[in-house]
Amino acid sequence: MTTSTPAATTLAIQGGSPVTDTAIPFMKPQLHREDIDAAIAVLESGMLRAAGRCAELEERFAATSDATHGLTCSNGTAALQLAYGSLFEPGDEILCPAWTFIATVTMIVAAGCTPVFVDCLEETFQMDPADAARKITPKTRGLAPTHLYGCPVDIEAFEALAKEHDLKIVYDAAQAHLARYDGKGIGAFGDAVTYSFYATKNLGTGEGGLVTTNDDTIARDIGLLRSHGETGKYLHERIGYNLRMNDITGAIGCSRLDRLPTETKARQAAAARFDAILADIEGLAAPTITPKAESAWHLYTVKFDPAKFTCTRDEFIEALKAEGVPTAVHYPRATSDQPALAQWNKQDTPVSDSLTTRVFSLPMHHGLTDEHFETIAEALGKVAAAYRA
Ligand SMILES: Cc1ncc(COP(=O)(O)O)c(C=O)c1O
């Protein structure tokens, strides 16, 4: 009796050979020599507090986002805290996505406001303007859409809603640096836009954040909230926090900002390659972009159709992992379904709730090579064929 070796088409998870033995990085946070030198120069100066490098980052980041003002802060959560704190009063109702990272919503609660969950659109995963319109009450004061995965929301629809009902808008662009809408940077829209520079974001500084606005009063207010409400030496006009950045972070941010346009273009090219690969695989849908939007492609999130396969989404991604292709789930739970937010969950966001078992994100960064794309295409095709319903 002879024992045969498993055929090339046998899934690695079932004992076959994997498509690759070399792990593909899911993300590629990477400091270059010049980033390290920029940080060292600040360390050598001895002046570590927020000073020239933070000011430079504020000015340049605002300019590349088509905004008038930029204010650095300690992280993207702090950026939301500052924007909400400057625009809303305790008791205000704020319409926010059920499908986002939790900070978009927890900072609404931290500001003493009431989050009202809005479902996302099946096609784009972005906050649904029509569901938002349905949920407006006399207490609604604001909209807090997230440009999720790097893709701008339907800004035109939200701006129309805000105009009609006299609402303020804070866009959470933690994942969407350099994204554009209708030919303009996303900083051109809304009352404030918040960004995160967390280590794995498109522009990562370790921790860090920034708010852009086009309103002088909001900019001044956020500046006060960011640093103890201080208007003069030990003179404090209002209650504030310490949510400042420092110049080491600012220097890394400036240095990485030099490369961000090129790296964003590489992400956009990667997304186009993935779109082409997925066009040939029934049951896996490429993400759809909001009309008029240009995504910064922080994440490339695929929709899995359970009816087309004999396996679950989790079994599918386990099989991909065995073939050498890492994935991640953004997100395994709707934000509205988080235990910490249970009191605001009205169970009226069915699309968000059902996406939890239907999406997965492919590796996405500026360092993907032709070989990576070929491996990912082969692995997706192999696993899809093996589990074809
Ligand atoms: C959509 C969104 N909002 C806010 C944040 C919070 O940013 P940070 O981690 O810098 O506080 C993140 C970070 O993951 C995010 O993805």
What is the pLDDT tens value at each position of the chain, 389 positions in all? 344 445 568 999 999 999 999 989 999 888 999 999 999 999 999 999 999 999 999 999 999 999 999 999 999 999 999 999 999 999 999 999 999 999 999 999 999 999 999 999 999 999 999 999 999 999 999 999 999 999 999 999 999 999 999 999 999 999 999 999 999 999 999 999 999 999 999 999 999 999 999 999 999 999 999 999 999 999 999 999 999 999 999 999 999 999 999 999 999 999 999 999 999 999 999 999 999 999 999 999 999 999 999 999 999 999 999 999 999 999 999 999 999 999 999 999 999 999 999 999 999 999 999 999 999 999 999 999 999 99
Q: Tell me which of 101, 125, 171, 245 to substitute to probe ligand 1's pocket, judged by most ligand atoms within 8 Å of the beta carbon.
A: 101
CA distance 322 to 311: 15
**Helix or strand or coil: residue 311?**
coil
Domains of the chain, by residue range, sit at 33-255, 260-386
How far apart are the CA of 17 and the centre of ligand 1, in A? 38
Q: Ligand 1: does its nearest atom lie under 6 Å from the Cβ of 77?
A: yes
Q: Atom 10 (ligand 1): residue with closest C-alpha?
A: 76
Q: Where are the alpha helices (DSSP H) in 280-367?
A: 313-323, 350-355
Q: Ligand 1: does its nearest atom lie under 6 Å from the Cβ of 35?
A: no
In contact, 114 and 90? CB cutoff 8 Å: no
How far apart are the CA of 103 and the centre of ligand 1, in A? 6
How far apart are the CA of 123 and the centre of ligand 1, in A? 23
Neighbours of 159 (CB within 10 A): 16
How far apart are the CA of 80 and the centre of ligand 1, in A? 9
Q: Considering only CA atoms, which of 294, 318, 293 is closest in space to residue 304?
A: 318
In contact, 334 and 97? CB cutoff 8 Å: no
Task: State the pLDDT at residue 4.
Answer: 46
CA distance 267 to 202: 9
How far apart are the CA of 95 and the centre of ligand 1, in A? 18
**Helix or strand or coil: residue 255?**
helix
Question: What is the helix (H) or strand (E) element at residue 300, kind and residue range?
Answer: strand 300-304
Predicted TM-score (pTM) of this structure:
0.97
Q: Ligand 1: does its nearest atom lie under 6 Å from the Cβ of 174?
A: yes
Domain 33-255 has CATH 3.40.640.10: yes
What CATH topology corresponds to 260-386? Answer: Aspartate Aminotransferase, domain 1 (3.90.1150)
- The torsion of the CA quartet 224, 226, 229, 232, rounded to 10 degrees, works out to -70
In contact, 293 and 181? CB cutoff 8 Å: yes
CA distance 95 to 92: 10
Q: Ligand 1: does its nearest atom lie under 6 Å from the Cβ of 150?
A: no
How far apart are the CA of 222 and the centre of ligand 1, in A? 18
Residues 6 or more apart whose CB falls under 8 angstroms from that of 1 comprise none
The DSSP call for residue 358 is T
Task: State the pLDDT at residue 360.
Answer: 98
Q: Ligand 1: does its nearest atom lie under 6 Å from the Cβ of 101?
A: yes
Q: Ligand 1: does its nearest atom lie under 6 Å from the Cβ of 146?
A: yes
Q: Considering only CA atoms, which of 112, 176, 119, 121 is closest in space to residue 141?
A: 112
Classify strands 192-196 and 168-172 as parallel, antiparallel or unpaired: parallel
Q: Rounded to a whole number, what is the largest CA-CA distance in the chain?
A: 89
Q: Atom 12 (ligand 1): residue with closest C-alpha?
A: 174
Token pair for residue 55? 């000011």
Q: Ligand 1: does its nearest atom lie under 6 Å from the Cβ of 175?
A: yes
Q: Ligand 1: does its nearest atom lie under 6 Å from the Cβ of 172?
A: yes
Q: Tell me which of 99, 102, 126, 175 to substitute to probe ligand 1's pocket, judged by most ligand atoms within 8 Å of the beta carbon.
A: 175
